Amino acid sequence: MGLLYFNGHHSDPGFTITAFDPVTFAPTSLNLTYTRYQLFGMEGSLLFDPFTLALEGGFFLSEDKDGTDSSLYNSRFAYLAELSYTHPASSAFLALAYQGRYILDYSSANPVDVDYLASFDGKAYENTLLMVVEYPFMQQRLTARAAVTYNIESEGYAVLTSLSYALEDNLSVFLKGTVYGAAGTKSSLYKSWDDNDSLQVGMKAWF
């Protein structure tokens, strides 16, 4: 069991529109602002070999406590639960995770509110399922990995796969593939990346 505290700024900037095009009313000038917040959190894990259950929860207290400034991110709750399994003999690994957040004082009335723009399907909450699988072969010289993330609200998903082979202790070659998409017709970041699937071949060296 552990307690968490952080005092800093949100990693993503908010913005204030300072000028509009007089004809189209499109924004022509912005001021970026970073939201100061405090994080109060708690984490814990239970080990019942070969399974591990990890739980985390936190509250982000925004400087915009009442949620009235559309350029700043509102306060929110965040939560995560993960169940993982490691096979003792082969070191094969499987993890299932559920994570989400709930935004306080959320409003969809203002289309340029930063919380609304960062939301999924216009909801005050976001929930994501993740699965990760890793399996080593050939005395752990060859490793296959796969990960899937699925956002419930937007029905968007990302699939990441990789295959790596260790030529030496400090040298390996790899093949990676990524697929983006959506199970439904809702607009989302995942759906907008539908044509950005990728395949990589490379080599890593450690010095």
Mean pLDDT per 10-residue run, the chain (207 residues)? 93 87 82 94 93 96 92 96 93 96 91 88 91 93 96 92 93 95 80 88 91
68 assigned to some structural domain: yes
Q: What is the pLDDT of residue 121?
A: 78
Long-range contacts of 109-117 (CB under 8 A, 24+ apart): 110/70, 112/17, 112/27, 112/70, 113/70, 114/14, 114/15, 114/70, 114/71, 114/72, 114/73, 115/67, 115/73, 115/74
Q: What is the pLDDT of residue 72?
A: 94
106 and 168 assigned to the same domain:
no
User: Which tokens is 133 given?
Assistant: 């699988």
95 assigned to some structural domain: no
69 and 115 assigned to the same domain:
yes
* pTM for this entry: 0.81
Q: What is the pLDDT of residue 128?
A: 96
60 and 139 assigned to the same domain:
no
149 and 114 assigned to the same domain:
no
Candidates 114, 198, 100; CA nearest to 149 is 100
Do you know the residue count of the chain? Answer: 207
86 and 171 assigned to the same domain:
no
48 and 138 assigned to the same domain:
no
> CB–CB of 100/125 below 8 Å?
yes
CA dist., res. 165 & res. 174, Å (int) = 6
142 assigned to some structural domain: yes
84 and 32 assigned to the same domain:
yes
148 assigned to some structural domain: yes
Q: What is the pLDDT of residue 206?
A: 87
Q: What is the pLDDT of residue 185?
A: 80
Q: What is the pLDDT of residue 193?
A: 84
Query: Which residue type occupies 163?
Result: L
> CB–CB of 158/171 below 8 Å?
no
132 and 151 assigned to the same domain:
yes
75 and 155 assigned to the same domain:
no
Parallel/antiparallel/unpaired status of strands 198-205 and 142-151:
unpaired
Q: How many domains does the chain have?
A: 2
131 and 106 assigned to the same domain:
no
Half-sphere exposure of 37 (CA within 13 A, CB side): 25
107 and 161 assigned to the same domain:
no
156 and 113 assigned to the same domain:
no
User: Which tokens is 176 given?
Assistant: 């990676």
21 assigned to some structural domain: yes
Q: In terms of residue numbers, what domain contains 24?
A: 1-90+100-119
174 assigned to some structural domain: yes
